[in-house]
Structure 1
Amino acid sequence: MNALMILSVILFVLMTLIGGSKGALSFLSLFINFVVLLIAIFLMLSPGMNPIILTIIACALFSCINLFFVNEVNRKTITAFISTMITIAVLLLLIDVITSLSMIQGFSEEQSEEIAPYSLFVGVDFIKIGASVIIISTIGAITEVAISITSSMGETLLHHPTISRKDLFLSGMRIGKDILGTDTNTLFFAFFGGYMALLIWFIDLDYSIGQIVNSKVFSSEMITIFCAGIGIALIIPITSWINAYVAVKKAQTS
């Protein structure tokens, strides 16, 4: 039994003990998401396939798996799903422009030795691939914030059934403000944790701060973090407004 299997078993046991059936479903969803991601990657390599469209479809499937498969179909998950897809659509417009202007697509010069034996004529649009990478990197954080806000607002409405739509919206915004700082910092430290060896290599090669900041591999990851942060900031008011509108309307008609 290798280390991956041992860690998988430990994760499954902990998620099941703490989360019960939802924890077990969350563990299973990791593998389902992995299969969806692999299928999306293979389809992107097919002639005539648009990576952006495939990414939107993949993100919709990721959201369905993370929301409906784990938490069932209800008002909270439906609202979170709608909010997620609206945010992804808005964010995609920004990311498409950013990747075109920043020219972060493709491989960096630090990777030249590794890819030297291979042909780079792979027949795919690396600008669209770059946008797809950023979107897929942000979908998890966006979905997490959406379901956190809808669940918290649901509890607020449960204990204060006569709350107005405006007060419920403001409640969601206050919840979002608490999430915003921690989630953006999580993305930031995840980058530096994953690229610690690269940063050490930069220092060992006597890269100046300017060379590090302007290197493609560093810039692409920082742009991903900023785009993810923008997505997290956007999802908060979108989810709060949609959930407040739907929840109060349903409470008034019931």
Structure 2
Amino acid sequence: MSHSHGHGTPESGPPRPELARVLFGVVAAIAVVTAVAMVVLWPSSDDVPHATGPYSGEGVTTVDATVTSVTPWDCGADGGFGIDDQPTAAGDCRTVTATVDEGGEKASFELDPTRHRAVELEEGDDIRLMRFQPTDADEPSFEFRDFQRGFPLLALALAFAVLVAVVGRLRGALAIVGIGVTVFALMKFVLPAILAGESPLLVAIVGSTGIMIAVLYLAHGVSIRTTSALFGTLFGIAFTALLGVVGTHWAQLTGVSSEDDLYLIGTVPDLRFQGIVAASMVIAGLGVLNDVTVTQASAVWEMRALQPIVGRWELFRSAMRIGRDHIASSVYTLVFAYAGSAMTVMLLITAYQQGLLEVLTAEQIANEVVRTLVGAIGLVLAVPVTTAFAVWLAPPAVEGPLSDDSQKVVPKA
């Protein structure tokens, strides 16, 4: 754990094999405990609910199609409120015809004004349809489901991966691998384990710890510097989890604030929704937390290179001046990210002209407010903790005067 990780410059100061061995033992112990916990919590396929979705059943299939025409007609829609007192838009309905990509079958379906304004189909659009034919004797009927987005999403993902690999080189390529590890852990462990009835918060902590151990060492190399960032990150995960539990219960967040939540209750009634809220706070802040801890650890090492003779306290104070600027920008990142994710709800509430206090305390917005505050508090406290770990583990101060050349050596962990 004491070797260089890719800058190609010599290590400052004598090797520290004993420290490297101690840190290796500590990280190995954490990794083993995490792995054992994942094995214990890992659900079997029989434990994960396999509910029937709204678009599955006998005679129901999904087909790709291309819109050939969109014809407006007066269906008497004058707005107001429709089924379940949902507001509806006024205007013309649309008859949409399309050709199924496989087989050339002709499809036709209707869109009311509200649905049309949401999707605004045009001739030539590539769409996905639900095809309903309960028996071979029945005429098939069709319903709009969504647009085809496979190619644009794949193209953007490939462009992102190539750009990161070209600009970031080996580290960029390893970061892409880290994203793959993250997606695998979330899809194969975290989400199935929660659905299987395990404690959402415990699953989130174990999953996040495993993800961070893998991602940090993959993207930043095996070094004492990376280990100091890992320790700060683990503190942030633990503190965010604790504060998430307190904040969720104190604010009386139920975790049920949308139609999707109600569908989930109907599908998996035994889920612990308050636990899911707290778990989401842990996972949602991982990216920014990782960014802050790695930056602080790197700042300490680079400042040690520039100031090899200063004591640890002065090094800590210098690094914290950088950390304060990073705190400010990272908190804004959290706020904007959560505000963007809740934009539709915020627009709807604003349209209803409700008071600011009433808006902020509504369940849907309160979830985001508490999530933002919990994540920000954990983030802020992770900065001095990570800085302290990094200063403690960084190369010690050099005694005596140094030549100009010796002060330019960049220390490596």
1:128 pairs with 2:275: yes
CA RMSD of superposed structures (Å): 2.2
Q: C-alpha separation between the residues in 2 aligned to 1:196 and 1:158?
A: 45
Gaps of at least 5 residues in structure 1 are none
> For residues 217-236 of structure 1, what are the structure 2 equivalents within 5 Å?
217-236=364-383
> For residues 84-123 of structure 1, what are the structure 2 equivalents within 5 Å?
84-108=233-257, 111-112=258-259, 115=262, 119=266, 122-123=269-270
Q: 1:78 is matched with which residue?
A: 227
Q: Give the residue type in structure 1 aligned to 2:237.
A: I
Q: 1:67 is matched with which residue?
A: 216
Q: 2:290 is matched with which residue?
A: 143
One of 338, 352, 356 as aligned partner of 1:205: 352
The structure whose Rg is larger is 2
Q: C-alpha separation between the residues in 2 aligned to 1:250 and 1:160?
A: 8
Q: C-alpha separation between the residues in 1 aligned to 2:292 and 2:341?
A: 22
Segment of structure 1 superposing worse, 178-187 or 80-89: 80-89
Contact 1:164/1:248 (<8 A) preserved: no
Q: 2:200 is matched with which residue?
A: 51
Gaps of at least 5 residues in structure 2 are 1-149, 400-412
Any idea what the Cα deviations from partners look like across 1:153-192, whole Å, max 9, x if unmatched? 1111122222211111112211100101100001111122
Any idea what the Cα deviations from partners look like across 1:170-226, whole Å, max 9, x if unmatched? 122111001011000011111222222222222233333233112111011011111
Segment of structure 1 superposing worse, 125-134 or 192-201: 192-201
Q: 2:78 is matched with which residue?
A: none
Q: Which structure has more strand as a fraction of its residues?
A: 2
Q: Which structure has more helix as a fraction of its residues?
A: 1
Structure 2 vs 1, CA of residues 27 and 113 (structure 1 numbering), >3 Å: closer, same or farther? closer
TM-score by length of 2: 0.57
Q: C-alpha separation between the residues in 1 aligned to 2:182 and 2:240?
A: 21
One of 236, 240, 249 as aligned partner of 2:387: 240
Any idea what the Cα deviations from partners look like across 1:55-105, whole Å, max 9, x if unmatched? 111111221132111111101110111111123222322221111121223
Segment of structure 1 superposing worse, 148-157 or 122-131: 122-131
Segment of structure 1 superposing worse, 202-211 or 224-233: 202-211
Q: C-alpha separation between the residues in 1 aligned to 2:250 and 2:344?
A: 28
TM-score by length of 1: 0.90
Contact 2:241/2:282 (<8 A) preserved: yes
Q: C-alpha separation between the residues in 1 aligned to 2:163 and 2:309?
A: 39
Cα drift, residue 122 of structure 1: 2.2
Higher relative contact order (CA 8 A, sep 6+): 1
SS in 1 for 2:285: helix
1:4 pairs with 2:181: no
SS in 1 for 2:169: helix
SS in 1 for 2:364: helix
